[in-house]
Amino acid sequence: MRKKLFTHEQLLEKTEELLLTYGYEKFHLKLLSMHLDGARSTIYSYYKNKEEIVSACMCNVMQRVLNQTNAVHTGNPLQDLRLLLMVYMQESDLHRLLKTIPDLKMHASTSIQENMRMLEVGHQKLKQKIVQLCTEAQQAGMLRPHLSPAIMSATFYALIDIPNVQVLETEQWAALLFDLWLNGTSLTS
């Protein structure tokens, strides 16, 4: 009996899951095929090698984050920043996937190069959105005017990599980090 084939989306989803579980070094196409219903040759009908599928997977995750980010618009820049942090925290696996980029640059096929460019453009869009919201919040008198939006954006973006040492739910952790970013740790204002 012929095995059921998987969709391209299922292939990328399973790739993401296995990359996060096993890491880039231990991920391979045989492992992927063992977790999908279908033949390994079906994977090769989509991608030539491990590096191509990993770069495509990262682009898929980036597009998901960009779609969620683009949906955030409340009219209040601080509320938008709070919601963006929640999106980023829920999708923080993106950062773990992006850390595999140096490994992919060694295998610079045209397909991988294109995916790397798409990732860089996506990354820049995410940063620009944060800078834009910080600027809007400054103009509305919600953030200190003497701080550069670029510096505020960089510290905001760094929150994503802070380990959840209190093992809180994502929403609680994001709220705590946002409060820390916005208000600092000082008792005085």
**Confidence class for position 28, pLDDT limits 50, 70, 90:** very high
Closest CA to 18 of 50, 59, 45: 50
Q: Tokens in use for 111?
A: 């397909």
Over range 160-185, report the average pLDDT: 92
**Confidence class for position 146, pLDDT limits 50, 70, 90:** very high
Share of the chain above pLDDT 70, in %: 90
The residue ranking higher by pLDDT, 93 or 109, is 109
Please say if the pLDDT value at position 106 is more than 70. no
Asked if residue 140 lies in contact with residue 77, where contact means CB atoms within 8 angstroms, the answer is yes
> Which DSSP category does 49 fall into?
S
In which residue are the tokens 């600027």 written? 135
DSSP string, 130-179: HHHHHHHHHHTTSS-TTS-HHHHHHHHHHGGGS--TT---HHHHHHHHHH
- Cβ-proximal residues to 165 (8 Å cutoff; 6+ apart), any chain: none
CA dist., res. 132 & res. 69, Å (int):
13
Question: Angle at Cα 113 formed by Cα 112 and Cα 119, nearest 5°?
Answer: 85
Query: Tell me, what's the pLDDT at 24?
Result: 85
- Cβ-proximal residues to 115 (8 Å cutoff; 6+ apart), any chain: 52, 55, 56, 58, 59
Please say if the pLDDT value at position 104 is more than 50. yes
- Record the pTM: 0.85
Please say if the pLDDT value at position 105 is more than 80. no
Query: Tell me, what's the pLDDT at 102?
Result: 67
Over range 146-164, report the average pLDDT: 92
Please say if the pLDDT value at position 1 is more than 60. no
Q: How many residues does the chain have?
A: 189
Q: The domain 54-183 belongs to what CATH superfamily? A: Tetracycline Repressor, domain 2 (1.10.357.10)
pLDDT, one tens digit per residue, over 34-70 is 999 877 888 988 999 988 999 999 899 999 999 999 9
Asked if residue 66 lies in contact with residue 122, where contact means CB atoms within 8 angstroms, the answer is yes
Closest CA to 24 of 132, 95, 96: 96
